[in-house]
């Protein structure tokens, strides 16, 4: 009964905070297994946990649903591994605003008015303020990885909506996360090979618990208490949380222009989400 008194936004913000905290903590594995190895270990940890919790009967899904979930798993792998490379190159504070162009574009494409196309352009102005290419200090490969992660995130959103209409929560993740782990093996295992001691394996399991198991459970509770539109609007705060963890945990530094840029991305994302809500029913 007491949990019902907790507003939905608390669960949503907690999910986002844990997600960004996990992203920051994952960087501690970079010197040992590399960015690809760290992302792969996190996916493997999540896959083991979901398979143990759900114990899925794959025959019960149906071929069309399995194909969709496999595609979603591949998008998850693309998003995860690209994100790790981006963070390793340009930092968490810069990666998330750039990556956010993906879901923002999806939100705008749902909009009915052509004028809404300006929101990605405005967000791009914010991204330019964050990256400050005129200083020549930003690594173009890092930006490329962040944009690729944004593409993966956009695919993830579109396919998650389709999967959510057919397969419920944890049953879907019991397929998509193992598929993502298998796909990421091709780049993650060679990077981690020779460094997989007990501590590293346990760290992978722990990170798998931090992302995606706990955040997804919190998101499920949040979505029971919030509209999808309200949840999407709250999600626009992720660049701010990424900046907070990047500065406090990773020692990243942001100047005033970069902070303003993050604010522009958040405003554009909130507005794009509110004008591009998915019709229900």
pLDDT at position 281 is 43
Q: Could you report the per-residue pLDDT of 153-172, keeping only the tens digit for each? A: 889 888 887 887 788 778 88
pTM: 0.87
pLDDT at 3 over 90: no
Q: Could you report the per-residue pLDDT of 201-227, keeping only the tens digit for each? A: 999 889 999 988 898 888 878 877 877
Handedness of CA 173, 174, 175, 176 (dihedral sign): positive
Residues 178, 195: Cα–Cα separation, whole Å: 22
pLDDT at position 1 is 43
For 244-276, b where at least 16 C-beta lie within 10 A, e where not — what string? bbbbebbebebeeebbebbbbbbebbbbbbbbb
Which residues have a Cβ under 8 Å from the Cβ of 157 and sit 6 or more positions away?
A: 102, 103, 106
Which residues have a Cβ under 8 Å from the Cβ of 225 and sit 6 or more positions away?
A: 7, 8, 11
pLDDT at position 225 is 81
Q: Give the DSSP H/E element, type plus range, for residue 193.
A: none
More confident residue, 84 or 261: 84
Largest CA distance in the chain: 55
């Amino acid at each position: 009964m007491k949990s019902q008194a907790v507003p939905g936004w608390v669960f949503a913000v907690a999910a986002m905070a844990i997600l960004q905290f996990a992203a920051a903590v994952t960087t501690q594995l970079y010197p040992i297994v590399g960015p690809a190895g760290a992302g792969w270990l996190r996916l493997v940890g999540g896959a083991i946990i979901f398979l143990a919790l759900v114990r899925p009967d794959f025959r019960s899904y149906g071929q069309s649903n399995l194909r969709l979930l496999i595609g979603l798993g591949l998008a998850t792998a693309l998003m995860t591994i690209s994100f790790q490379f981006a963070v390793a190159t340009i930092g968490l504070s810069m990666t998330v605003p750039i990556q956010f162009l993906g879901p923002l574009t999806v939100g705008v494409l749902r909009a009915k008015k052509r004028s809404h196309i300006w929101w990605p352009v405005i967000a791009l102005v914010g991204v330019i303020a964050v990256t400050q290419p005129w200083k020549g200090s930003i690594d173009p490969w890092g930006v490329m990885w962040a944009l690729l992660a944004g593409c993966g995130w956009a695919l993830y959103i579109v396919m998650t909506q389709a999967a959510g209409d057919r397969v419920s929560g944890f049953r879907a993740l019991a397929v998509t996360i193992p598929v993502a782990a298998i796909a990421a093996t091709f780049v993650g295992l060679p990077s981690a090979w020779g460094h997989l001691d007990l501590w590293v394996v346990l760290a992978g399991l722990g990170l798998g618990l931090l992302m995606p198991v706990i955040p997804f459970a919190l998101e499920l509770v949040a979505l029971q208490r919030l509209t999808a539109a309200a949840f999407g609007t709250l999600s626009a705060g992720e660049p701010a949380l990424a900046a907070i963890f990047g500065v406090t945990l990773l020692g990243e530094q942001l100047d005033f222009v970069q902070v303003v840029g993050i604010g522009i991305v958040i405003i554009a994302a909130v507005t794009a989400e509110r004008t591009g809500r998915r019709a229900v029913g």
